[in-house]
Structure 1
Amino acid sequence: MQKSTFWYLLLSLSFAFSSPSTLAQQSAKLKIDEIQRLGLQANGLVLAARSQVDMAKAGVVAASAFLNPEVTVTAGPDSNRYSLAITGPTSMQRSVTVNQPIENPIMRSARISASEAIVGASRASFDQVRADLAAQLRVRSYELLLRQEQFAMEQNIYDLVDDVRRRIKINVERGEAARFELIRADTEVQNAANRKEAARLGVQRARIALMQFTAGAIPADFEISASLKDPVNLPPLEELRIQVPQVNPDVVRLQAEQERATQRISQEKASVLPQINVLYTNYQDAQFTSNMAGMSIRIPLWYRRRGEIDTAIYDSARIRDTLEFRRYEIGQLFESAWQMLQIAQRRVDMFEGGLLKEAENAVEVARAAHRFGERGLLEFLDTQRILRGIVGDSLLARFDLQSAAAEIDRLRAHYPRELLVE
């Protein structure tokens, strides 16, 4: 029994010490939507935009509050002007006045509606920040994948050129090839090594940039569980043309600001109406107690807030014109992104249609021919350079495809909202 208990404790301790590293290895494999979630939760700009929404909600509470009453208290002793035989003993006087402003219900309703419109504008700005950041995180993630693919390509080219260089060195040592061939091969190996090192540094730079957008919320040794070959799933073109100008956060924000400007016009016009204050006064002295009620009315007789009303009208016109232009501009940005998507898709189809495979086969044939002495080093290197250019263009085409899709999702504010805590 004691022996079984000992083994149980030993296994428990080994599991406790080994499970964190295992979990760390599992958590280091992140999908792109998980990277977006972590970035949206940790980025300071998103948190600041969320605070703007909370501030706007607090503004609605302030706008909905009723005006506070004003209480005035006065007290003081009487002073004799004649003898006590005539006036009698002195006393204290006390007066309490309550002034309650009665707010115009039209102006109150307009003020509350304007504050609620500010909340809508703040939420739209919040959505814009999140959409921009989510698109940046997606593009940066695929950029990291692009740099990793480029590094793998340069590594393969380096291994290929280095293998050819070793064969040339053997032939030179046997006297079957000129010394000049080895010098040329050494130069190509050095160039391949430089390109490989530059590609490796590009991977590190892309990784740091992605971590910067996530505010360090992801581990330093993370890996992305995605590929440049990921399919792009978007709604049909006609549906997107209708959807984008309606749901774009910038357009929604301008619509909310236009509503706020309209309510401000109503508020300024309602402020021209007379303002009423209800008064109540309680007066007490040695002999009498009196209660008086009444009202005071402020009449806008000389100045009827013409300047404030005109300012609100012109501000509403400015926002309306900006909204119309911005809606048109968003539509054109979407058309441009859609064309970029189509161009990138055609380029990907072109490379996948056999061009990339033919270039790889040409390199293998040139390599075999050079091995058997049927082709020179220059022909092999030319074929290898052609393959490198085609592979590089193929990777860039896939990256452009993902970038165009991310831009369309940004314009329509499409990001993993279900993973966020509002």
Structure 2
Amino acid sequence: MQKIFILLIVLFFLSSSISAQETLKLSIEEIQRLGLEANGLVLAARSQVNISEAGVVAASAFPNPEVTVMAGPVTRRLPESLTGPAAGQRVVTVNQPIENPFMRQARIASAEAGVEANRASFDQVRADLAAQIRVRAYELILRQKQAEIEAGIYELLEDVRQRIKLNVERGEAARFELIRADTEVQSAANRKEAAHLIAQQARISLMQLTAGALPLNFEVSASLDDPDNLPSMEILRQEVPNVNPDVVRLQAEQERAKMRIDQERASVLPSLNVLYTNHQDAQFNANTVGVSVRVPLFYRRRGEIDTAIYDAARIRDTLEYRRYEVGQLFEIAWQALQIAKRRVEMFEGGLIKEAENAVRVAQAAYRFGERGLIELLDTQRVLRGIQNDSLQARFDLQAAAAEIDRLRAYYPKEHTVE
């Protein structure tokens, strides 16, 4: 809360300096692009993909030979007349491991599956962030609209207060009416200020998601009435569980676990080392070639193989549950979308217009003295409640659509740097 308060103060002092500047209007896709390029979590996930790609290079490398050089003097144990003059000796040994081709293939395939898993995680981070940015952008629009409603109510009540004040001064109304009007105006002013601060908080939240890439004078070029542009339910029901990044990641993890089983099983096979030794002394120069074989006689890596098998089973079960869970999350989001659409249709069916007509009738009746202040305030409260509910329904529709797009990893990928 302290950070938000500080940011609100900064925005308040900078508002005067940017008011004269031209407002920069950005679409939601443009804001998403800025966030995907600047957010640190996305950059960290991209680095993780680069790390896994470097791991493939390491897994594909051939083992290096080992060279051992030993040298030292030769000490006589017999007289020089029998052994000749003393000299030194030198031994050079080269050890070249010959890698098991089955284990090598499994290791490389496991590293490549790790790359796919990290790419899916990267895609998940981007999809989550893009959905959050989209929801925050529409929330900013919602809060701004609510602030406009509260500002309109304040202006209306202030106008009513001025009329009551004139009537009180002329003796045509009791002073109690002015006190009541002052109370309502003060309450409306408080709601107006609170709505403005909430809108500023929504702006700050959106700027935080984009890591400060948004300018202070930006405006969201969108509307709560924007169409969702979603495919049909049947298409999405087949698409979402297959393209969801978390499901794709688990599929890659499952493939990597299978390759680990093959790698552990291949490691049981005998491993070879080719040896070459050159020995030189005062009299002889010897070259020796041999083979070193590691024979898995006593331990055949049963523990490591079982661990890999159980780990693969764990990932397989997790994958099946996650695929089912993603399908259910889609069903929930789709139902939320349909509920929001029905609510929007209800408000568009004339409910708001009827409430607005009721306010206009109450205002006219109040001017002619046929209705009191309480009736006018009641109709105004009803209209404000209906308007807020209508805006909330439209926001809920956009949030449900953003959740569906998040589940299917639909966002402006063409604008991001791979």
What TM-score does the superposition give when structure 2 sets the normalisation length?
Answer: 0.94
Match of 2:71 in 1: 75
> What residue identity is the alignment partner of 2:67?
V
Match of 1:25 in 2: 22
Alignment pair present for 1:35 and 2:31: yes
Q: Distance in 1 between matches of 2:265 and 2:259?
A: 10
CA shift, 1:274, in A, is 0.5
- Which stretches in structure 1 are left out of the alignment for 5+ residues? 1-20
Quote the sequence identity (%): 74
Q: Distance in 1 between matches of 2:19 and 2:332?
A: 45
Match of 2:44 in 1: 48
> What residue identity is the alignment partner of 2:332?
S
> What residue identity is the alignment partner of 2:136?
R
Alignment pair present for 1:139 and 2:123: no
CA shift, 1:77, in A, is 2.0
> What residue identity is the alignment partner of 1:44?
G
Match of 2:274 in 1: 278
Q: Distance in 2 between matches of 1:324 and 1:50?
A: 27
Q: Structure 1 runs of 4+ off > 6 angstroms?
A: 21-24
Please point out which of 206, 209, 216 is paired with 2:212.
Answer: 216
Q: Distance in 1 between matches of 2:57 and 2:362?
A: 77
CA shift, 1:287, in A, is 2.2
1:372-415 Cα deviation digits (max 9, x unpaired):
11111111111001000000000000000000000000000001
Match of 1:236 in 2: 232
Q: Distance in 1 between matches of 2:402 and 2:245?
A: 15
Match of 1:206 in 2: 202
1:117-163 Cα deviation digits (max 9, x unpaired):
11111111101110000000000000000000000000011111111
Please point out which of 243, 253, 266 is paired with 1:247.
Answer: 243
Secondary structure at 1:209's aligned position in 2?
helix
Count of aligned residue pairs for this structure pair: 401
1:38-74 Cα deviation digits (max 9, x unpaired):
1111111111111111110111111111101111111
1:247-274 Cα deviation digits (max 9, x unpaired):
1010011001111110000000000000
Q: Distance in 2 between matches of 1:151 and 1:354?
A: 23
Match of 2:330 in 1: 334
Match of 2:399 in 1: 403
Q: Distance in 2 between matches of 1:333 and 1:409?
A: 12
Alignment pair present for 1:156 and 2:152: yes
Alignment pair present for 1:412 and 2:374: no
1:99-124 Cα deviation digits (max 9, x unpaired):
00000000000001101111111111
Q: Distance in 1 between matches of 2:240 and 2:224?
A: 25
Q: Distance in 2 between matches of 1:210 and 1:90?
A: 84
Q: Distance in 1 between matches of 2:19 and 2:301?
A: 70
Aligned residue runs from structure 1 range 82-161, under 5 A: 82-161=78-157
- Which stretches in structure 2 are left out of the alignment for 5+ residues? 1-17
Match of 1:227 in 2: 223
Match of 2:258 in 1: 262
Cα distance change on mapping 1:24 and 1:246 into 2, 3 Å: farther
Secondary structure at 1:159's aligned position in 2?
helix
Aligned residue runs from structure 1 range 161-180, under 5 A: 161-180=157-176
Cα distance change on mapping 1:376 and 1:23 into 2, 3 Å: closer
Please point out which of 44, 61, 64 is paired with 2:60.
Answer: 64
Q: Distance in 2 between matches of 1:25 and 1:316?
A: 58
What TM-score does the superposition give when structure 1 sets the normalisation length?
Answer: 0.93
